[in-house]
Amino acid sequence: MQKVFLIFFIVLFSLLGKIHAQNKMIDSLLLVLPNAKEDTNKVIIYRMLTGLIRNSDPIRAIEFGKAGVELSKKLQFDKGTAGCLLNISVCYSSASKIDSAMTYINYAIEYSQKVGEPNRLALAYLNRADMHMQMQNLTQSLKDCDTSLIYAEKANNDDRRARVLQTIGSVYYMQNSYQESINYYDKAYDLYQKLGNNQMSAIVLNNKGNSFKHLSEYDQSITVFLKAIEIANALEDVNNLSMYHENLSDTYLENDQILQAKKHASLSMDYALKQENNQQLANAYECLGRIYLKEKNNGQAINLAEKAFEISKKENFTTIQLESSDLLSKAYTQAGNYGKAFEYLKINKELNDSIIKYQFDNDIAAMQTRFKLDEKENEIKLLNKDKEIQLQKLDRQRLILVGAMLLAALAIGGIVLLINRNRLQQQMKELQLRNQIAADLHDEVGSSLSSIHMLSQIAKKKQDNADFSQSEILNRMSINSKETMDKMGDIVWMIKQGDNDGTSLKNRIESFAQEISSSKGISLKMDLEILETIKLTMSQRKNLFLIFKEAINNAVKYSETEKININVSKQNKVLSLSIQDFGKGFDTNIIKNGNGIENLKTRAKELQGKIGIESVLGEGTIILLTIPI
């Protein structure tokens, strides 16, 4: 049998040595198959066909693989069975049918253990590790990587070692353990260099560069990306160069090296155009658009972001749609086109909700797959036991399965109800937000715009006997315009997604206090560090800022103080805020209209807090706010 097997391979490889194209190799195998005897050689043909056509025709590939399994089992050819099962699992994995892929890879491992070939076992466990990684089952993926590495060591196969180490690095990357991922990428890179596999070396360097970028170690990230690009250029690996240049551009942008970022984003775009790779082209447009946005070149940013959005929308690249719609919202906001900004902000939110739902569905599917796999493993174990005990346990298992399905159905029903409830709550919040924005725009901005309009009309129709000179009118228009921009900036900041945190509030307060106090030469002492450690809702953030703004504004305008102290502290679950000036003070029993005291009390009430005002004539004023958080 072994002699015939050897002769067959000599003939087959002699034939294949003359044929370089894969399709000709497939044609040759298909030509040999009908006349092949029902022996181990035919099993090998089935296995090779399964591997060769799994990408072009996965359904047919699986049929060849299953035919190979059937014949090899009949011949008790465990090595052939293991090989066919392994290729079938890869076919299902390529088709994103992870549950079926996992079933066949488990069978492949079982037969590979019978054969006892370390090299095949290393590959089988590595493939299963990849499948677990796709299912976000990262702990099990690492366990399979460890097992694969043990067999790779036994086989003394550096290529297997390198691929296992690279996979471990990717698992740690997905767990945000970036330093650990770098350690394993380094080990994989050394082995690929030893093997002379420069293409894989460049891919590992690209992965390593992304890890350094997440650690904000930009200089090292740039060095690694440049090395990957150098290798790819030498190999003329244009398929990966677009991605490498885009990643490098993003790193330069995060490191505020705008010219270099623009250079490599343009190169990424050029390579994507040459390869007609629409996904990478959309990524390059979006990357270049972010650079122009940072330069405040809104026209170019919008142009590139719209190109990225149109391509990703046409090709259904959801993630790029999300990123480009966010970029368009920011660019239009920066350009002052708030209508367009709101339009793309709405699209961005809908896409984000869609991605969250898709991820939720995938997580449920992965859980169901793991559940099915556990059940299948239990069934395999039961097959080796006594028939009567087996039947009893199978009946019990069915009851457990039915109960689990009922529980799952109830759980899913509860989740659906919860999602619907949350969606309704979100819609109500959005409606309230729209009303609030409209009110703020009307109250805060409308009056200022009306004043500017009236002043412009006066300037236009100014007569010699007018009450105001031309310069006075222009000065008033300038002041009103500045106030309008400040109010609009406050409104945008209050509703902006991603800024509902203490750090943003701290920066806003510091900026406002410094700006208004410096105009009167007032010294400031601020202790706001505690704000960086707390999370606030949009309503809390808004009211806190407006209380600060009102109090500081009153102190600067009316107190005639030379110094203001601002302090924020937290004890248990109570946040305390104090604003103290050392000016002339006032009689708290005489409160004039328009001094803002009622506004402070109203906003404190909205925060479910308390506000106290203490003032002594000639000594100054203290405003103390306490709120629960």
pLDDT band, residue 484 (cuts 50/70/90): low
Phi, psi (deg, nearest 5) at residue 627: -140, 150
Distance CA 181, CA 39 (A): 46
Predicted pLDDT of residue 321: 87
Burial of 197 (0-12, 13-18, 19+ CB in 10 A): middle
**How do 523-527 and 563-571 pair as beta strands?**
parallel
Average pLDDT over residues 619-623: 92
Q: Which of 206, 166, 161, 159 is nearest to 183 (CA)?
A: 166
Predicted pLDDT of residue 440: 60
- For residue 329, count other CB atoms closer than 10 A to its CB: 24
Q: Greater confidence, 353 or 232?
A: 232
Average pLDDT over residues 395-424: 83
Predicted pLDDT of residue 142: 92
Q: What is the DSSP letter of 441?
A: I
CB 165 within 8 A of CB 127: no
**How do 574-581 and 620-628 pair as beta strands?**
antiparallel
Distance CA 245, CA 564 (A): 51
Q: State the amino acid at position 627 in one-letter form.
A: I
| Top-confidence range, 456-465, 493-502, 504-513 | 504-513
3-state secondary structure of 616: strand
Cα separations in angstroms, 54 against 43, 65, 96: 17, 10, 12
3-state secondary structure of 181: helix
Average pLDDT over residues 4-28: 49
Residue 450, pLDDT > 80, answer no
Predicted pLDDT of residue 247: 94
DSSP string, 4-60: HHHHHHHHHHHHHHT--SHHHHHHHHHHHGGG--SSHHHHHHHHHHHHHSTTT-HHH
pLDDT tens across 387-397, in order? Answer: 566 667 777 88
Q: State the amino acid at position 219 in one-letter form.
A: D
Q: Which of 575, 528, 583, 531 is nearest to 554 (CA)?
A: 583
Place of tokens 């298992």: 397
Q: How wide is the angle at C-alpha 532 spanned by C-alphas 530 and 534, nearest 5°?
A: 80
**How do 523-527 and 620-628 pair as beta strands?**
unpaired
Predicted pLDDT of residue 476: 67
CB 500 within 8 A of CB 536: yes
CB 143 within 8 A of CB 181: no
Q: What is the mean pLDDT of the chain?
A: 82
Three-state SS annotation for 567-597: EEEEECCEEEEEEEECCCCCCCCCCCCCCCH
pLDDT band, residue 439 (cuts 50/70/90): low
Give the whole-number percent of the chain exceeding pLDDT 90.
42
pLDDT tens across 79-99, in order? Answer: 999 999 999 999 988 887 888
Average pLDDT over residues 362-385: 49
Residue 4, pLDDT > 60, answer no
CB 604 within 8 A of CB 625: yes
Q: What is the DSSP letter of 595?
A: S
Residue 1, pLDDT > 60, answer no
Q: How wide is the angle at C-alpha 123 spanned by C-alphas 117 and 124, nearest 5°?
A: 85
pLDDT tens across 249-289, in order? Answer: 999 999 999 999 999 999 999 999 988 888 899 999 999 99
CB 338 within 8 A of CB 332: yes
pLDDT tens across 139-160, in order? Answer: 999 999 999 999 999 999 999 9
